[in-house]
């Protein structure tokens, strides 16, 4: 047992993770590093108990596992934080549904380049082919961009037949693959849901919060920037192209319908003179995750809605304190805060804005577990 008091907010220090693509300049600046630069650590896995899958880096022990720091300065590995006292960390209903793991992975992601065209498994596909109970539905909360006209690829605008997609992948016909998509413009504060099976790519120079199921499953359609060779395990999870063709969803999503199809369906959780809390992505739109926007005005303390789930709050702007069951934590821009399920009362003191990331409500899940 780690001996931690779960009736307090926890600070989440940076937890940078190696990836095959480059980026991270803006994350370096957020962390206050002396010589910020792009490199192969473009992601910060916030409060993560998920191990990164990086072929060729198997000797890097526990890459992806973060730590939490309490008000007393004690640091705890995230797998121990969730696993030692799971009902206090995650909530009794959550543990009954998912076990002693958070069913959530939150990242700060800063891409210097266009990411490879890819798709992730849905839960039914992951069950059939990977023997896994989670796929990798994810959400993007756009924060900033380097280029003046940022964009993403999301869903096929000109869907190929499966065998044509196979041919394009095997020949590494990047132009042919790109021809199946239109660029979708994005801007700060945009929120998009990327369901399992939906082909996509993040454009160059985007900083975002990525909220997802807690896996690192991916099928990459390109073997790497500049045709750099990636092992098969990093292309198709070791399954081969034929076995992953039915992972992709070949539906047509016209460019002018992308936001309607994948954008937020907003729901007010709390609205008082002290602030607002708004669900952007939640059930029934998705049963895989929940994303909320939180704004505190800075007058009276603003009380967050607590429903027996853990959550991760990333402060995007403003300063003040997060007070959990009477224990204060000073926060400012880019503070990451873990709010355990055991907390009965959480208030924000000071004017601030943030994104709150939550696992799904256990009763919101269904047998398909995200059949999308």
Q: What is the pLDDT of residue 1?
A: 77
162-193 tens-digit pLDDT: 999 999 999 999 999 999 999 999 999 999 99
- If you compute the radius of gyration of the chain from its CA atoms, what whole number of angstroms results? 20
Structure token pair of residue 223: 């073997």
Instruction: Given CATH 2.60.120.10, say whether it is the number of domain 10-262.
Output: yes
Q: Which residues contact 150 (CB under 8 A, 6 or more apart)?
A: 142, 185, 186, 187, 203, 205, 206
Measured CA to CA, the distance from residue 293 to residue 277 in angstroms comes to 6
Question: What does each C-alpha distance from 42 to 17, 19, 26, 205 come to in angstroms?
Answer: 7, 7, 9, 11
Measured CA to CA, the distance from residue 222 to residue 201 in angstroms comes to 11
pTM: 0.94
Q: What is the pLDDT of residue 43?
A: 97
- The average confidence (pLDDT) of the chain is 94
Same fold, 10-262 and 267-364: yes
273-296 tens-digit pLDDT: 999 999 999 999 999 999 999 999
16-30 tens-digit pLDDT: 999 989 999 999 999
Confidence of residue 367 (pLDDT cuts 50, 70, 90): very low
* Residue 305 contacts residue 350 (beta carbons within 8 Å): no
Q: Where are the domains of the chain?
A: 10-262, 267-364
Q: Dihedral, CA atoms, 303, 306, 310, 313, nearest 10 degrees?
A: -20
Largest distance between two CA atoms of the chain: 61
Q: What is the pLDDT of residue 54?
A: 85
Q: What is the pLDDT of residue 372?
A: 39
Question: What does each C-alpha distance from 142 to 66, 126, 211, 239, 264 come to in angstroms?
Answer: 23, 27, 11, 32, 13
CA 103 to chain centroid, in Å, comes to 11
Q: What is the pLDDT of residue 225?
A: 53
Q: What percent of the chain has pLDDT above 70?
A: 96
320-359 tens-digit pLDDT: 999 999 999 999 999 999 999 999 999 999 999 999 999 9
Q: Dihedral, CA atoms, 349, 354, 360, 362, nearest 10 degrees?
A: 0
Measured CA to CA, the distance from residue 219 to residue 320 in angstroms comes to 42
Confidence of residue 224 (pLDDT cuts 50, 70, 90): low
Structure token pair of residue 180: 């199946």
Confidence of residue 60 (pLDDT cuts 50, 70, 90): confident
Structure token pair of residue 366: 């269904």
Helix (H) or strand (E) holding 355: strand 351-358
Question: What does each C-alpha distance from 276 to 16, 260, 294 come to in angstroms?
Answer: 31, 24, 6
Instruction: Given CATH 2.60.120.10, say whether it is the number of domain 267-364.
Output: yes
Q: Which of 137-151, 219-233, 312-326, 346-360 has the lowest mean pLDDT?
A: 219-233
């Amino acid at each position: 047992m780690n001996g931690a008091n779960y009736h307090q907010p926890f600070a989440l220090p940076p937890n940078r993770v190696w990836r095959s693509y480059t980026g991270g300049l803006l994350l370096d600046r957020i962390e206050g590093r002396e010589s910020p630069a792009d490199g192969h650590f473009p992601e910060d896995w916030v409060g993560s108990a998920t191990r990164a899958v990086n072929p060729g880096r198997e000797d890097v022990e526990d890459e992806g596992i973060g730590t939490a720091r309490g008000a007393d300065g004690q640091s705890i590995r995230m797998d121990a934080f969730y696993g030692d006292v799971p009902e206090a960390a995650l909530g009794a209903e959550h543990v009954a549904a998912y076990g002693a793991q958070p069913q959530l992975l939150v990242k700060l992601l800063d891409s210097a380049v266009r990411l490879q065209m890819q798709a992730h498994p849905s839960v039914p596909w992951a069950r059939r082919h990977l023997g896994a109970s989670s796929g990798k539905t994810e959400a993007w909360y756009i924060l900033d961009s380097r280029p003046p006209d940022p964009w993403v690829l999301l869903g096929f605008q000109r869907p190929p037949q499966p065998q044509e997609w196979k041919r394009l992948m095997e020949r590494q016909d990047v132009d042919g693959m790109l021809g199946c998509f239109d660029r979708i413009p994005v801007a700060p504060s945009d929120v998009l849901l990327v369901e399992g099976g939906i082909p996509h790519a993040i454009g160059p120079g985007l900083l975002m919060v990525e909220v997802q199921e807690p896996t690192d499953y991916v099928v990459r359609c390109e073997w790497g920037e500049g045709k750099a060779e990636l092992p098969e395990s990093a292309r198709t999870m070791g399954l081969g192209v034929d076995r992953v063709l039915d992972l992709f969803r070949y539906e047509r999503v016209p460019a002018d319908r992308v936001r309607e199809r994948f954008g937020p369906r907003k729901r007010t959780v709390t609205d008082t003179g002290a602030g607002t809390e708004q669900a952007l992505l939640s059930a029934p739109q998705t049963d895989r995750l929940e994303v909320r926007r939180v704004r505190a005005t800075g007058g009276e303390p603003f009380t967050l809605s607590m429903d027996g789930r853990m959550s991760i709050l990333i402060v995007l702007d403003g300063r003040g304190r997060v007070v959990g069951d009477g224990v204060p934590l000073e926060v400012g821009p880019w503070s990451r805060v873990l709010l355990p399920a055991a907390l009965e009362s959480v208030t924000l003191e000071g004017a601030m804005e943030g994104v709150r990331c939550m696992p799904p409500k256990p009763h919101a899940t269904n047998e398909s577990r995200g059949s999308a």
